[in-house]
Chains A and B, each alone.
Chain A
């Protein structure tokens, strides 16, 4: 290397760590010999750190809330209305330009220019869509008749070890599969044909219910036009509207209705003349830990600002993989029940469909052999939309007999703040605990720590032999809520007990019982979450039991339980306490597999679009599936976990209520926009009869390395008369959830159709505890409350 002088740019590159090791070493040698070089490097670093610090201190400058919302409600390109997608692509860009314009005179020439100058651009982006259209069109032609036949039978695919092919499960469908098994050879060739689908005859006037909802936004949406509107307004139209009319603070729901073609230009112009205002977002928000921000966002979406948007339909050509973490929480169902029993319809934001569906046990076949759980798949029609298919994935955890369960060390961390002093709170906690204590064995341990009232160690961890049980029950009876808040450290104390009396190879768990007061001794959500996570790594898990109503921070409770590898349940009545702590004690306490993730790959030749029902806050990125560092849900002994996918066969419209397309523009040719990194690789479709492939990953409770299972699913085209009672019941619960959420995807579901489905799903042998019967009563109550 040539000799350096202090003014050599390589010195700056070295100081900023931009050089590779070899170059850096060479420069280091020279610096060691030349003080002036060392001084120069030091100066560069000083200036650099000053700059970094000052950049970091720049006042946060971000999008307006309106803009953020429109991004967060990220529009998904829908299968059936490509014109909207295209319009968005084009008009977003045009809108940007138009913002700079003041008069119409300027707009047109400018747009011309734009059209001319950006012909090459972002072709990549529109390709998949166009290809989707072409393929869809193609498939539509081929299968228009076949798809209506809906032949066949229920399919139960047994769990297959990875690599094996299904044997008995490979039931080949009838007309449907026959028509579809040939790969759509022309699908890629159609990519230039951007004409889109013609307005379909299956595309009648919009669903009247959409209008109705637009006029009545869900009560739970405190912020009007915000996330709370997550209900059945056509999300795309709505988002697009927000995009184009940022100047209006809150677009009224009515304006989300499709506008007549041609009024966009007017709107663009109107917008250009309005001064936009938007509150700058607070500086503080930028300073928070990034990972935690995501959690907070999820949380905010869930509880505080409104409803998490239902998962949208996705196209396998765009997103072939759907990845999520299992969820065995059931709190949402108890919460819904509590609302209905107290005579009010639950607000949409507390309705989490997967938690409702998972509240119930289904008679899935138990796993045999070594595997900790089995997977059971059933494919049938979707009751709320007979043209669609419904895929049920059911996992069943290995049963552990209550008397066979490993020794358990429990620490109850009890909220005894004044607010717990209500009949449905502390007394219910006490009752539930006593039920549990009664079932514990002499080699189990239990400790009680209280916080937020008279804080402290109420009961040191002791073995639950009969003598000690009496002591424990006395302690429980003596519990009182209220009093001054003194002393922090409740949670540390609880975990201290847990680790001091850790049972190796056993179940070690802290059970937090609260009505939403988290004054546990660690303030700051961030810190608390980390604390729980750290403890999780030592083998002490956290479960959260929620009590009462009102200041019920269920989002936070759920999150804490997730981070603690435990479950979150909401106890609204003593029966629920019994279910969670006694009937399902093994399941609640004994984790048989952790970080259970499901990834489904859809076959584009068989699936036009798919949608996971529920699990909105459990979605993972595709790459998280194989990433063992990513936390996911746990499955307890004997637990069942159910996930439902709604599948739109190729050629069937996703949403018949979509607005009609706008006319093609006269003065502008449709162009695509520039992109930094163009070029999408085209994927060839591999011919296969399979509808989808389910992949599972899980870890043993003590393990760090995940295991992988995979099994393919073929749709044999079963019709509803072949549906199992479990599937009928699960779809009843899912429909009920969609109705309560005002989901845009509820199709033809009504409360009476829910009752019919539930009725078919309730058999004496699958409802010994009467939970399904109770569900039926709840639907009846909802019907009365809804005035139907």
Chain B
């Protein structure tokens, strides 16, 4: 397996409070890796460092061996809020990364619209985000992230704002789409079920300042069926993680 993203010995403080202390994570090609920890443990800070929006106090981030510490624009980044521009039609929202990089509007729209069906968004092209349901908006945001065209995607609690029923249909959809497009992903979550269901590996983040305390490999084959959550295997992982978080 090819190693894509590697963060080594990341430390970061804000004013006098140390948030991250010596964090190292790696992401291999085609993998989904979760960062699991309670709210406020510093997961988002770590993402800001990985995406280059924030410079760490020490440590390095490399993408395929190239140093990208503190450099934005190498990874795609998606947040819990869908952050769709309310004044743009869905298609232009989705095509935003293309438009920003200078692709002409007509071509950007064509490239975006060819993916609408796959992302379960058919017929929403010329609507405004406010006319879409929460799940649809999140899928639109996901398609936009995908169109950033980066090899590595950072997802910051992408399903966190959805209600439970919508969330589990989104999980199903996500398993299916990831089987099709195989994006290498790091996923932030505080939901143990979500982490076990979606991930190849789980990093457990704990403490203040935060450390990676454990790493768990989920060996269940992919593509996974939604029934995985009902298996004994699943429960075993869940129990193990609960104990580690205690």
Q: Do A and B bind each other?
A: no
